[in-house]
Amino acid sequence: MSPLPQVLLDGLFTGGTYALMAAGMALILGVVKVINLSHGAFFTLGAYVAYALAERGVGHPIAAALLAAAIAFAFGVFVGKSFVNPVRSHPFALPVGTLACALLFEEAAQMVWGPHPLSIETGAPWIGPGGLVIRRWGVVAFLSSAALLAGLKGLLVARPGLPLRLIAEDEEIAGSLGMDVEAIRYLTFGGACAMAAAAGALLSTSGAVTPTMGRAPLILSLVVVIVAGMDSVGAIFLLSVALGIFGNGCAYFLSPQWAYVALLAGVSLLLAARPAGIVAIAGRRD
Amino acid sequence: MNVRFTTFLRPPLVLIGSAFIFLSFFLCVSLHDPALAVSHPDTLKIGVLAPLSGPYAAGGTSFVQAATLAVEQANAEGGVFGRRVAITVADTQGRVDVAKAEALRLVSREKVTALVGAYLSEETVAVMEVAAAQRTVLLVPVAATAEITDKVRQEYPRYRYVFRVGYSIPQWAELIAAFLSDRKIGRYGFVGAGIRWNRELGETLERIVAPRGIAPAYTAFYSPANPAFDPVTVAVAAASLDIVVLGDPGRNSVSFLKRLREVAPGLPVLSVGGALGDARLASSIPLSAPVYVQAASWKGVSPAATAYFERYENRYGAPPVGYSDTLPYDAVTVLVAAWRKAGSADSAAVVPVLEGGAFPGVAGTYRFDTAHQARWGTGPGALRGTFVRWERDGARIVFPPR
Cβ contacts (< 8 Å) between B275 and chain A: which residues? Answer: 116-117, 208
Beta bridge partners of A238: none
Q: Which of B1, B2, B4, B14 to mutate to test the interface with A (most CBs of A within 10 A)?
A: B14
Q: What is the pLDDT of residue A87?
A: 85
Query: Looking at the whole model, is its pTM more than 0.90?
Result: no
Q: Does the pLDDT of residue B354 top 50, yes or no?
A: yes
Question: Is B9 near chain A, with CB under 8 Å?
Answer: no
Q: What is the pLDDT of residue B29?
A: 42
Q: Does the pLDDT of residue B32 top 60, yes or no?
A: no
CB contact under 8 A, A251 and B194: no
> Strand pairing of B243-247 and B269-271?
parallel
Q: What is the pLDDT of residue A283?
A: 44
> Strand pairing of A208-209 and A118-119?
antiparallel
Neighbours of B314 (CB within 10 A): 9
Distance CA(B169)–CA(B152), nearest Å, equals 16
CB contact under 8 A, A83 and B283: no
Q: What is the CATH number of the domain that holds B97?
A: 3.40.50.2300
CB contact under 8 A, B234 and A6: yes
Same domain (yes/no): B156, B232: no
Same domain (yes/no): B288, B395: yes
Same domain (yes/no): B148, B262: no
Q: What is the pLDDT of residue A93?
A: 86
CB contact under 8 A, B15 and A252: no
Question: Is B231 near chain A, with CB under 8 Å?
Answer: yes
Neighbours of B34 (CB within 10 A): 15
In a domain? residue B144: yes
User: Cα-flanking dihedrals φ and ψ of residue B267, to 5°?
Assistant: -90, 120
Distance CA(B67)–CA(B73), nearest Å, equals 10
Q: Does the pLDDT of residue A103 top 60, yes or no?
A: yes
Q: What is the dihedral of CA B149, B151, B152, B157, to 10 degrees?
A: 180
* C-alpha distance across the termini of chain A, in Å: 51
**B323, B249 Cβ separation under 8 angstroms:** yes
Distance CA(B106)–CA(B94), nearest Å, equals 17
CB contact under 8 A, B254 and A207: yes
| A108 closest CB neighbour out of B21, B250, B278 | B21
Same domain (yes/no): B159, B82: yes
Q: Which of A210, A215, A263 to mutate to test the interface with B (most CBs of B within 10 A)?
A: A210
Structural domains of chain B, count: 2
Helix ranges, chain A (H): 4-27, 39-55, 61-79, 85-87, 93-113, 136-157, 162-169, 171-176, 181-203, 215-228, 233-253, 256-273
Domain ranges in chain A? 4-116+124-226
Residue B377: left if φ>0, alpha if ψ -120 to 50, beta else—which one? left
Distance CA(A115)–CA(A107), nearest Å, equals 9
Choose the weakest-confidence range: A1-10, B170-179, B208-217. Answer: A1-10
Q: Does the pLDDT of residue B27 top 80, yes or no?
A: no
The distance of B247 to chain A (nearest Cα, Å) reads: 14
In a domain? residue B19: no
Question: Is B21 near chain A, with CB under 8 Å?
Answer: yes
Q: Does the pLDDT of residue B1 top 50, yes or no?
A: no
Q: What is the pLDDT of residue B197?
A: 84
Contacts of B178 (CB under 8 A, 6+ apart): B378, B399, B400
Question: What residue in B sits closest to A118 (Cα-Cα)?
Answer: B281
Q: Does the pLDDT of residue B20 top 80, yes or no?
A: no
| B231 closest CB neighbour out of A10, A110, A206 | A10
**pLDDT level of residue B28 (50, 70, 90 thresholds):** very low
Question: Is B271 near chain A, with CB under 8 Å?
Answer: no
In a domain? residue B377: no
Q: Does the pLDDT of residue B318 top 50, yes or no?
A: yes
pLDDT tens, position by position, B361-398? 999 999 999 999 999 999 888 999 999 999 988 899 99
Q: What is the pLDDT of residue B36?
A: 44
Q: What is the pLDDT of residue B227?
A: 87
**H or E, element range at B245:** strand B243-247
DSSP state of A276: T
Question: What residue in B sits closest to A2 (Cα-Cα)?
Answer: B238
Contacts of A109 (CB under 8 A, 6+ apart): A44, A45, A48, A211
Cβ contacts (< 8 Å) between B7 and chain A: which residues? Answer: 86
Same domain (yes/no): B322, B351: yes
Question: Is B18 near chain A, with CB under 8 Å?
Answer: yes
CB contact under 8 A, A210 and B58: yes
In a domain? residue B8: no
In a domain? residue B91: yes
CB contact under 8 A, B57 and A115: yes
CB contact under 8 A, A122 and B258: yes
Cβ contacts (< 8 Å) between A97 and chain B: which residues? Answer: 12, 14-15
Q: What is the pLDDT of residue B12?
A: 53
Question: Is A118 near chain B, with CB under 8 Å?
Answer: yes
CB contact under 8 A, B275 and A118: no
Q: Does the pLDDT of residue B7 top 50, yes or no?
A: no
Closest by CA to A131, choosing from A263, A3, A19, A34, is A3
The distance of A3 to chain B (nearest Cα, Å) reads: 7
Same domain (yes/no): B230, B93: no
Q: What is the pLDDT of residue B19?
A: 53
Same domain (yes/no): B146, B210: no
CB contact under 8 A, A257 and B194: yes
Choose the weakest-confidence range: A263-277, B88-102, B119-133. Answer: A263-277
DSSP state of A190: H
The mean pLDDT of B59-71, rounded to a whole number, is 95
Cβ contacts (< 8 Å) between A107 and chain B: which residues? Answer: 22, 25, 53
Question: Is B238 near chain A, with CB under 8 Å?
Answer: yes
Distance CA(B305)–CA(B362), nearest Å, equals 5
The answer to whether the Cα torsion of B191, B196, B199, B202 is positive or negative is negative
| A259 closest CB neighbour out of B7, B228, B284 | B228
In a domain? residue B40: yes
CB contact under 8 A, A83 and B223: no
CB contact under 8 A, A248 and B231: yes
Same domain (yes/no): B162, B311: yes
| B278 closest CB neighbour out of A107, A116, A220 | A116
Same domain (yes/no): B252, B395: yes
| A115 closest CB neighbour out of B58, B262, B280 | B58
Distance CA(A162)–CA(A160), nearest Å, equals 6
Q: Does the pLDDT of residue B15 top 60, yes or no?
A: no
pLDDT tens, position by position, B229-287? 999 999 999 999 999 999 988 888 999 999 999 999 999 999 998 889 998 887 788 88
Cβ contacts (< 8 Å) between B285 and chain A: which residues? Answer: 119
Question: Is B285 near chain A, with CB under 8 Å?
Answer: yes
pLDDT tens, position by position, A269-283? 888 888 877 776 444
| B61 closest CB neighbour out of A115, A122, A208 | A115
Question: What residue in B sits closest to A13 (Cα-Cα)?
Answer: B230
Question: Is B54 near chain A, with CB under 8 Å?
Answer: yes
Question: Is B228 near chain A, with CB under 8 Å?
Answer: yes
Question: Is A107 near chain B, with CB under 8 Å?
Answer: yes
CB contact under 8 A, B232 and A251: yes
Output the 3-class SS for B207-222.
Answer: HHHHHHCCEEEEEEEE
Closest by CA to B262, choosing from A200, A241, A61, A132, is A132
Question: Is B273 near chain A, with CB under 8 Å?
Answer: no
In a domain? residue B7: no
CB contact under 8 A, A208 and B254: yes
In a domain? residue B15: no
Q: Does the pLDDT of residue B34 top 50, yes or no?
A: no
CB contact under 8 A, A78 and B14: yes
pLDDT tens, position by position, A189-217? 999 999 999 999 999 988 899 999 998 88
Q: Does the pLDDT of residue B26 top 60, yes or no?
A: no
> What is the domain extent for residue B177?
170-295+385-399
Same domain (yes/no): B118, B264: no
Distance CA(A95)–CA(A38), nearest Å, equals 9
pLDDT tens, position by position, A55-100? 998 878 889 999 999 999 999 999 999 888 888 878 788 888 899 9
Same domain (yes/no): B210, B352: no
